[in-house]
A and B are shown apart, each in its own frame.
Chain A
Amino acid sequence: MMEEVKEAASVLSVHDDSIKVTEVLKDGDTLTFIIVSQKLSGTGEYHVDRTYEDFEWLQQHLFSQEDVPGIQGVIFPPLPAKPQVNASSRSIKQLGFLALGECQPYCKALETFLQQVAAHSILSKNKAVEVFLTSSDPPGRQKVKKNIFNRLSQAVEEMRKEGHKDVDEFFQNERDHNLVLTGCTKTAAEKFLDVVATEQKIAVACGHFSTALHLCVEPGEDPDKQAFSRVCVKLSEVFESIKKNMTSVAENNVNTLGLGLDLESRYQEAEREMLFRRTCKLVELENARRNTEKAKPVKKAAMEEVKKAAETEFEHISGVAKQEIERFQGARVEMLQQALVSWCEKQLLTAKESADQFNQHLEVFRGMA
């Protein structure tokens, strides 16, 4: 009910699925992303440039909408980690797939983030989203402040509250399941990343080999020598196409399943955070209840107040969380399916193209007298 009211009040002026991160500009250590989105009103596009700090600003704003009930039950679309221009091995590891290639995967991830935010029924209503997407001026970057969602504090508390027994079986199951899935997805993404990295290494090695073969070409009129040179050049071409094959296989892996697994892994993380926030609230509520029971009559009323407030909030959170989880489950299956299908299709295409090429090379070699 409340949502409906708000929806009427503030609607995003762009199509959520038209948001694109088209370009990235490198200026020293800072990366600037160009975000393009189509106006809902009709023709025309918004072009804005945003830095990673702007994205952080947006996320903070979304986190800190304290006036929205049950905001803590929302699974916030995960913002990818800060990109590094001169990436160290550790930050690469943290970024996973997003560190590969020439920023395209990263842009893709940011794009997904924005689309998810814009498509989210609660989050899209926030003014900050509109500002972020349409305002030509960069939003105040200094406004970033620490809040209850600070990850560091969360990590400390986590140890204590993670294992807290849930009152709701649904949430208990979800929490257990989420724990398993988060681990598995993370491993799978890492392993897949290894595969891609090796494929890239192979592509590079093929390239080297192909180049080295060119050096074997001997000048001279001697027919024997020329024959050998021809063989070398041809083989060099073969390895060039093996390299291309490997490169596109690796690219396909990154752009489809790689990104899918990465997003899945980050979303699982986000879900876990949400569940944790709910668990925290639950703990808070239980404490309030205990306090109320133990409380002396003088304070009882005040305690009752607190307990009531906590209860409402918890109910809100649980309500939103349930919705969010259901939505998320559907979305992630769809997302993973899409990733798998497009991955498979692309790889199939690449394999067929490569097979064609190899066949041609083979024919050429067979034809060589």
Chain B
Amino acid sequence: MATSSERSPPPFPDSEDQDVLDTEEVRGRDSDEDEDLFGSPSTSPVTGMDTTLTSDVSMKPPSDIMNDPLIEPMSSQTENKPASEPSDDFFDLTNNVSVVAAAATKSDDFVDILGSETGAQRGEVVKADVTVEATIDKSEVTAGITDPLSQQEAKQTSTAPVIDLSGDSQPVTSKIANPLVDLFSDAPPAAEAKKPSSANVDLFDDEEGSDIFAEPLQTKPAKQLQKSLFGEPDEDVFGEPLGAISKKPVPKEQKEKSVTTKVTAGGPLQDSKPANIFSQAAASTPSVTSTVNSKSNGVHSEEEGDIFAEATVELSLDSPRNERKKEAIAKPSAPTPTSLPAAASLTKPQPPALEELEEEEEEEEEDKFDIFVSVKDPEKIGDGMNAYMAYKVSTQTTLPMFRNKTFTVRRRFSDFLGLYEKLSEKHGPNGFIVPPPPEKSLLGMTKVKVGKEDSSSTDFVERRRGALERYLQRVVNHPSLLQDPDVREFLEREELPRAVSTQALSGAGFLKMINKATDAVSKMTIKMNESDVWFEEKLQEVESADQQFRKLHALVESLVVHRKELSLNTASFAKSAAMLGSAEDNTALSRALSQLAEVEDKMEQLHQEQAANDTFTFAEMIADYIRLLGAVRGSFDHRMKAWQRWQDAQSMLQKKRETEAKLLWANKPDKLQLAKEEIAEWEAKVTQYERDFERVSATVRKEVIRFEREKTKNCKRQIIKYLECLLQSQQQLIKYWEAFLPEAKAIA
């Protein structure tokens, strides 16, 4: 066993030797290694399984696919299948990709690649679908034929039609297959590598777009055949070579390996890693097209093409299972799921941009966005209890993403809440800290509605206006949120569909929500054996910061109350001083007292301004931070949820494996197959959820750091503003006193 595994690797290095010829091939190798890197983890489940040879075949393709970022969406599609998703044809896949992207899972990777490709590439995908469709048809047929056979056999046969489809190279592959049957000799793979490529060259002449897919189609089946062949003698044989391959080639590859280990370990370095991998994937994709164009390197493109090919194989594997759903498959894109396209079209453009931006942000954290939002002119619209406040939202920007430099729209309060709901729904689960708007205030708003024009209601409106402005500014200052179409729509579009069910965010409800999040977090913290000390510490910091900010807020509020009281008292003192002055007989004294009354009146104004200053710079800032800390905790909560999901999936997988072992013991092959499929499915889920969790963790970490930096900056800015006001009022005070002093001295 060991010997065969050691001997088999050379084919790949051989083909790589050829690669070295070209500069692009270096990149190509990256992609090669990329694949290896994903391949290597797959060995562990395989060896871990260690059951029969049949399990190998059914197991491996999915796991391979899972580990491949490009094919991941398909895997999620396969997940959908058991969940009675009727329209499981390949045409849907392209749609599903974006849907999955909207669901904001790992599939971003895939979208990233799509995004980095040109529209031509997209067209290719469509073309590929056509071929794939054909494949399906074929496989269906074969499946129908091989009905009595076991499913695994059906798969094997189904690959054959695929090869048929690709026509040209079929003899080639069969040729390859033969040597392979001769037991993994060193040379054949090299030949295999060369020959399909020559076939490819032919194909490329005709049509570039379909080539890419056609070529993988033919090579992949070859590989698939290879797999099945490997699989038959011993499942370990195939498992180990893969692992060996991933180990052997060049030092660069080892670096990649270390990356993979880190990824699985969920270490702190994680942020940069996924990006690294994606960028490699992205880089390799153009290289595919380039090689196709130059027709120079078929081997390389073959390596790359595997990714697509594997997808095809995956489908052909699935198709027998989905025999019942043939009708649905037959209809290409007609049965596009009812609600999905809309959502897909909405969110499709966003994730790639988001991903790009994230990378951009990594490069320069201090990126200053040239966009300023102001909320002005609060206006009561309507009467009675149906009245609401509308605000003018003006944007000033030089960003090219907006059509104009300045624009103004009118928004009502619930629109702001609606925006928040949309944003938190979309970005919250990814670990982003979505700035929360001010909560609904039943009391404050009722006062406004009733139309009492007293100081408290104007104070309320002004406070809210300020809070809304800061909220929007925070949103647009967030590099990822600014890219959200909803944000742009909010800022730009003239009419906005009425936001519904914002009631949930009303005062108490909002608090409840935050408390719920806190409860959930604290509960989960007990369960969660936190692997990352950083998060543990941060969570505690956030909790204590929350406490402190609440305390500070209470203190500032009481300070504001006192300031207001002072202004009132000063006013009444001014009044009584005026009365005293008028009652005074001594003219000079009387005059001085009247002057004193005037000075005190002015001082009352100053005190009032100071109270406003205290309110708007400190109390409101602190209130903002209390809200924001709630959002931070929410992001921690989302991370916990991702973790929980991962853990659940793991325990589920464990259960499935136990069932399988039991079935194996009981010797029930029919049920065993089902169990194996389920295991594969759950393994895929575990891997995906783990990566989900790691990604969310990375985002949360980045967001928290960003939040803290912003906090300091913002505090400083506010304090400077505050001090300037304070100084100004003090200087005003000096002026008043200086003006009064001669008056006092003039009394004789």
Q: Which residues of A contact B (CB under 8 A)?
A: 177, 180-181, 184-185, 187-188, 190-192, 194-195, 198-199, 201-202, 205-206, 208-209, 212-213, 215-216, 218, 224-225, 227-228, 231, 234-235, 238, 242, 329, 333, 336-337, 340-341, 343-345, 347-348, 351-352, 354-355, 358-359, 361-362, 365-366, 368
Rounded to whole Å, the gap between the CB of B592 and the closest CB of chain A is: 6
Which chain A residue has the least Cβ–Cβ distance from B710? A224
B150-170 CB contact bits vs A (8 Å, 1 = yes)? 000000000000000000000
- What chain B residues lie within 8 Å of A218 (beta carbons)? 541, 545
A231 and B715 contact, CB distance less than 8 A: yes
Other contacts beyond A202-B559, A348-B741: 7, CB < 8 A:
A187-B580, A188-B579, A195-B566, A201-B565, A205-B559, A228-B712, A358-B726
Which chain B residue has the least Cβ–Cβ distance from A182? B583
Which chain B residue has the least Cβ–Cβ distance from A202? B562
- What chain A residues lie within 8 Å of B744 (beta carbons)? 337, 340-341, 343-344
- What chain A residues lie within 8 Å of B708 (beta carbons)? 224-225, 228
- Enumerate 29 A-B pairs (CB-CB under 8 Å) in ascending A order: A181-B580, A181-B583, A184-B580, A191-B572, A191-B573, A195-B570, A205-B558, A228-B708, A228-B715, A231-B712, A231-B716, A234-B719, A235-B719, A242-B726, A329-B586, A337-B589, A337-B745, A340-B592, A341-B744, A344-B741, A355-B731, A355-B734, A358-B723, A358-B730, A359-B727, A365-B720, A365-B723, A366-B720, A368-B716
A352 and B565 contact, CB distance less than 8 A: no
In the docked arrangement, what's the CA distance between A215 and B565, Å? 28
- What chain B residues lie within 8 Å of A362 (beta carbons)? 720, 723-724, 727
B727-739 CB contact bits vs A (8 Å, 1 = yes)? 1001101100110
Rounded to whole Å, the gap between the CB of A3 and the closest CB of chain B is: 27
In the docked arrangement, what's the CA distance between A209 and B722, Å? 15
A224 partner, pick from B558, B589, B705, beta carbons under 8 A: B705
Which chain A residue has the least Cβ–Cβ distance from B552? A212
Cβ of B551 within 8 Å of any chain A Cβ, yes or no, is yes
Given A202-B566, A209-B559, A362-B727, A351:B733 Cβ within 8 A: yes
In the docked arrangement, what's the CA distance between A100 and B179, Å? 105
In the docked arrangement, what's the CA distance between A337 and B595, Å? 13
Within 8 A of A (CB), among B680-732: 705, 708-709, 711-712, 715-716, 719-720, 723-724, 726-727, 730-731
Which chain A residue has the least Cβ–Cβ distance from B734? A351
Given A333-B589, A358-B726, A345:B741 Cβ within 8 A: yes
A351 and B741 contact, CB distance less than 8 A: no
- What chain B residues lie within 8 Å of A341 (beta carbons)? 741, 744-745
A354 and B545 contact, CB distance less than 8 A: no
- What chain B residues lie within 8 Å of A224 (beta carbons)? 705, 708-709, 712
Cβ of B548 within 8 Å of any chain A Cβ, yes or no, is yes
B483-508 CB contact bits vs A (8 Å, 1 = yes)? 00000000000000000000000000
Cβ of B329 within 8 Å of any chain A Cβ, yes or no, is no
B573 and A184 contact, CB distance less than 8 A: no
A228 partner, pick from B584, B711, B741, beta carbons under 8 A: B711
- What chain A residues lie within 8 Å of B580 (beta carbons)? 181, 184-185, 187-188
Within 8 A of A (CB), among B618-674: none
In the docked arrangement, what's the CA distance between A144 and B702, Å? 81
Chain B's interface: helix, strand, loop or mixed, by majority?
Answer: helix
- What chain A residues lie within 8 Å of B4 (beta carbons)? none
Given A242-B726, A355-B727, A188:B573 Cβ within 8 A: yes
- What chain A residues lie within 8 Å of B577 (beta carbons)? 188
A212 and B555 contact, CB distance less than 8 A: yes
In the docked arrangement, what's the CA distance between A81 and B541, Å? 55
- What chain A residues lie within 8 Å of B733 (beta carbons)? 347, 351
- What chain A residues lie within 8 Å of B592 (beta carbons)? 337, 340
B545 and A216 contact, CB distance less than 8 A: yes
In the docked arrangement, what's the CA distance between A238 and B740, Å? 28
In the docked arrangement, what's the CA distance between A212 and B557, Å? 13
- What chain A residues lie within 8 Å of B731 (beta carbons)? 355
Cβ of B517 within 8 Å of any chain A Cβ, yes or no, is no
- What chain B residues lie within 8 Å of A355 (beta carbons)? 727, 730-731, 734
Rounded to whole Å, the gap between the CB of B188 and the closest CB of chain A is: 58
In the docked arrangement, what's the CA distance between A206 and B569, Å? 19
In the docked arrangement, what's the CA distance between A12 and B570, Å? 44
- What chain B residues lie within 8 Å of A235 (beta carbons)? 715, 719
Cβ of B104 within 8 Å of any chain A Cβ, yes or no, is no
Given A209-B552, A365-B719, A366-B720, A191:B576 Cβ within 8 A: yes
Within 8 A of A (CB), among B530-582: 541, 545, 548, 551-552, 555-556, 558-559, 562-563, 565-566, 569-570, 572-573, 575-577, 579-580
Which chain A residue has the least Cβ–Cβ distance from B611? A202
Given A194-B569, A209-B555, A348:B734 Cβ within 8 A: yes
Cβ of B585 within 8 Å of any chain A Cβ, yes or no, is yes
In the docked arrangement, what's the CA distance between A218 and B583, Å? 59
In the docked arrangement, what's the CA distance between A238 and B579, Å? 38
Cβ of B20 within 8 Å of any chain A Cβ, yes or no, is no
B586 and A333 contact, CB distance less than 8 A: yes
B569 partner, pick from A195, A209, A345, beta carbons under 8 A: A195
Which chain A residue has the least Cβ–Cβ distance from B707? A224
- What chain A residues lie within 8 Å of B563 (beta carbons)? 202
B583 and A352 contact, CB distance less than 8 A: no
Rounded to whole Å, the gap between the CB of A40 and the closest CB of chain B is: 31
Cβ of B292 within 8 Å of any chain A Cβ, yes or no, is no
Cβ of B357 within 8 Å of any chain A Cβ, yes or no, is no
Within 8 A of A (CB), among B393-407: none
Rounded to whole Å, the gap between the CB of B600 and the closest CB of chain A is: 9
- What chain B residues lie within 8 Å of A231 (beta carbons)? 712, 715-716, 719
In the docked arrangement, what's the CA distance between A34 and B284, Å? 95
In the docked arrangement, what's the CA distance between A238 and B716, Å? 13
In the docked arrangement, what's the CA distance between A177 and B590, Å? 14
Cβ of B747 within 8 Å of any chain A Cβ, yes or no, is yes
- What chain B residues lie within 8 Å of A213 (beta carbons)? 552
Cβ of B229 within 8 Å of any chain A Cβ, yes or no, is no
A208 and B737 contact, CB distance less than 8 A: no
Rounded to whole Å, the gap between the CB of B583 and the closest CB of chain A is: 5
Rounded to whole Å, the gap between the CB of A322 and the closest CB of chain B is: 16
A194 and B558 contact, CB distance less than 8 A: no
B719 and A205 contact, CB distance less than 8 A: no
Given A180-B583, A224-B712, A201:B741 Cβ within 8 A: no
A348 and B737 contact, CB distance less than 8 A: yes
Rounded to whole Å, the gap between the CB of B568 and the closest CB of chain A is: 8
Which chain A residue has the least Cβ–Cβ distance from B732? A351
